Amino acid sequence: MPAILNWLLRLVVTNPICMRLVQGGSTRKRHLYIRAGYLAVMIVVVVFALLSTSSGVSSLRDLASAGAQTFNWVSYLQVGLICLLTPVFMAGAIAQEANPRTWDILLTTPLNSLQVVLGNLFGRLFFIIALLFSTLPLFAVTQFFGGVPGDAIFASYAIAGTSSLLVAAIAVTLSVTRTAGRRAVFWFYATVVMYLFLTYAIDIQLRRPIAPGAIARHTTLITPTNPFLALKVLLDSNHYVPFDLTGTGAGWLKTMWLTRPIAAFCWICMAGSLLLIGFSTVRLRVIGAKTGTIAWYRRWFGMGAKGATERPARTVTRNPIAWREAVARGKTPIAIIGRWGFVVLGVAVALVLLGFFHTGAWNGPNLQLAVASVVSAEIVIITLAALNMSATAVSREREDGTLDLILTTPIQPGPYLAGKLRGLIMYLTPMILVPVLTIAILAVYVLADGFGRAGGVAVTLPLPGTTGSVTLPVILWEGAIALPMMLAPFLAFCVMIGLQWSIKSKGTIGSVIAAVAVVLTIVGMISLCAAVAGNNLSVPGAAMSALSPINLLFAIVLPTKTIGSALTNNPTAARTALVVGAAGAGLLYSGVVYGLHNNMKRTFMMTVRRLAGTT
């Protein structure tokens, strides 16, 4: 075999790292369950969509419309699942390769830097590509109904595939540039979620009609930077229209960016991936070069050197486990900047949004949509933070041997678990206050009638399913009471779910994935039921909307779309029901937390002993 061909094959096809990851991952039950679950969800959605859209079809045109609608649902779901599952498969590249110093071993092998990087990238990306190809027959089924051109299917696959490539390249770059990889897993997740929410919200605000009075809107500068926006151009071309720069003399970059956003998105992902791969290749050989040195930022934060024999004394509360989780956990510069930066940025964004509304730059619906997008993203990030920290709280101690030391102390399982819960909630309190303060600031603004704003703070909104309308403040000020009553117990529930899986799991990655899957399933079911109840059960439905934090937020900010039935019958009772429902939801989640604590306390020692000595 020619030497150049052998060199090229060892980059990916015969790369030993790639082959090891593919062969090892193919035998893991966790990967099997993820692949089977992904395909099962897609099949269920396709069947449900076909049954719901094809009922009452009376012509071939209606059948084609049903097929196109099914294709839209499945395409959005596929991109969403790929964005969710790619970090799951790439988490090993961040944690498993960085934390156990696997990189140090790889650097002693004959593999060059490019082979190491590409082997890690494509070895893990293989499973995402396999997921994409497994759904190809489902997309082919939609063509039997007509209305779905073949190039649209391949375009949707191009969007999903390039998105996963970019996310995978970012994960490999994190594993190369960071030695504390396990802490990066959560921030990897949170950044992806926040980016998708933020760019979509900015795009909504920048959209302008293609002509005065037209319903269709032009794409924006943000469109080629978000996979869901690129997919919207493909699937909703009648209402989300690219610019036509024919004859304007625009340059090639502007022409592609504004007239071909789907192609621009794919090229951005591929170019960004190549840049990250190149950077990782160059950076790989200097990993660990600064091991043992005292970084300037540790002195700046008053943290001292790593491994120092002395440090200032610190006051510990009555429960040392709670103190350790609340105080000792967040002493790294990244943790300090991340937590308090989230607080400062969240409050600043709330004030900026309110400033746009107060000066008249935005009307009521603009403010409602912006607040709903920003606060829902904040709640998702806080929930993921709670799950990540709680799901690693015990499994991390099992991995580094700390749990064995703790079990030799007089502390009992009950105080140990209660300390974990209290300490994590105390640590998350500044972050929890961000969405609460955002709604509270808006509530004060509404109660003060906009501090003299021209036009006031009331908006007239149509009621869904009727010809009537209702006049309400831009947000329901009762949300400042309802949201904290429900959000804190809900996050305590998430922490207990994470702790439960942290006790049961051998490693941190498995416990995080399991906890996130359980909470997503429970909250998803509750949210769907609450959404249906809010739109159909009048006042009781408004109370049930408080069972999920996102449903409660939408009921506060977008009430006509979530509790329209109750507002039609009795607006005052509907607003009161939100507060009562939030109080009931808080008591319900608190009761579940108490029950989980008692059950975990009884089974703690048995579970810990069963997993003793495992890593």
Task: Report residue 124 as tokens.
Answer: 């893990």
44, with CB counted inside 10 A (0-12, 13-18, 19+), is: exposed
SS (H, E, C) 555-585: HHHCHHHHCHHHHHHCHHHHHHHHHHHHHHH
pLDDT at 493: 94
pLDDT at 383: 92
3-state secondary structure of 471: strand
395, with CB counted inside 10 A (0-12, 13-18, 19+), is: buried
Q: By the 8 A CB rule, do 83 and 200 touch?
A: no
Task: Report residue 34 as tokens.
Answer: 């993820």
Could you give the C-alpha distances from 594 to 421, 536, 590, 591, in angstroms and in order?
11, 32, 6, 5
- Residue 286 is classified by DSSP as G
Sign of CA dihedral 265, 268, 271, 273: negative
Helix (H) or strand (E) holding 315: none
Q: Residues of the chain whose pLDDT is less than 50? A: 99-100, 179-180, 288, 290-293, 302, 309
Question: 451, 198, 200: which is closest to 346 by C-alpha?
Answer: 198
pTM over 0.85: no
pLDDT at 146: 65
Distance between CA atoms of residues 595 and 584, nearest Å: 17
Q: By the 8 A CB rule, do 210 and 424 touch?
A: no
- Residue 149 is classified by DSSP as -
Q: Specify the residue for token string 């006051």.
A: 315
Q: By the 8 A CB rule, do 548 and 523 touch?
A: yes
Helix (H) or strand (E) holding 195: helix 181-206
pLDDT in tens, 1-50: 677 777 777 777 788 878 887 877 777 777 778 778 888 888 888 787 77
pLDDT at 595: 93
pLDDT in tens, 143-162: 666 667 778 888 888 998 89
Distance between CA atoms of residues 589 and 189, nearest Å: 25
- Residue 472 is classified by DSSP as E
| Beta-strand relationship, 217-218 and 240-241 | parallel
Sign of CA dihedral 521, 524, 526, 528: negative
Distance between CA atoms of residues 458 and 450, nearest Å: 9
Distance between CA atoms of residues 392 and 511, nearest Å: 7
- Residue 513 is classified by DSSP as H
Could you give the C-alpha distances from 225 to 42, 160, 213, 229, 587, in angstroms and in order?
25, 13, 28, 8, 42
Distance between CA atoms of residues 414 and 317, nearest Å: 17
Task: Report residue 452 as tokens.
Answer: 């003299």
Half-sphere exposure of 422 (CA within 13 A, CB side): 14
pLDDT at 337: 79
Angle between helices 479-504 and 364-391 (to 10 degrees): 30
Q: What angle do CA 123, 124, 130 make, to 5 degrees?
A: 95
What length does the chain have? 615
**Beta carbons within 8 Å of 396's beta carbon, 6+ residues apart:** 182, 402, 502, 508
pLDDT in tens, 487-539: 999 999 999 999 888 888 777 777 888 888 899 889 888 888 888 888 788 88
State which amino acid sits at residue 55.
Answer: S
Helix (H) or strand (E) holding 261: helix 261-283
Q: By the 8 A CB rule, do 350 and 442 touch?
A: yes
pLDDT at 514: 86
Q: What angle do CA 551, 204, 197 make, to 5 degrees?
A: 55
Half-sphere exposure of 11 (CA within 13 A, CB side): 8
- Residue 209 is classified by DSSP as B
Q: By the 8 A CB rule, do 495 and 386 touch?
A: yes
Q: By the 8 A CB rule, do 192 and 83 touch?
A: yes
SS3 content of the chain, % helix, strand, coil (to 5): 75, 0, 25
For residue 209, list its beta bridge partners: 217
How far separated are the first and last CA of the chain, in Å rounded? 43
Task: Report residue 267 as tokens.
Answer: 């090229």
Question: 249, 446, 224, 431: which is closest to 346 by C-alpha?
Answer: 431
**Beta carbons within 8 Å of 399's beta carbon, 6+ residues apart:** 507, 508, 615
Distance between CA atoms of residues 69 and 348, nearest Å: 40
pLDDT at 116: 81
Strands (E) located in 242-320:
none
Task: Report residue 213 as tokens.
Answer: 């009075």
Distance between CA atoms of residues 67 and 70, nearest Å: 5
Q: Rounded to 5 degrees, what are φ and ψ at 217? A: -120, 150
Distance between CA atoms of residues 559 and 460, nearest Å: 12
**Beta carbons within 8 Å of 562's beta carbon, 6+ residues apart:** 531, 534, 535, 545, 551, 554, 555
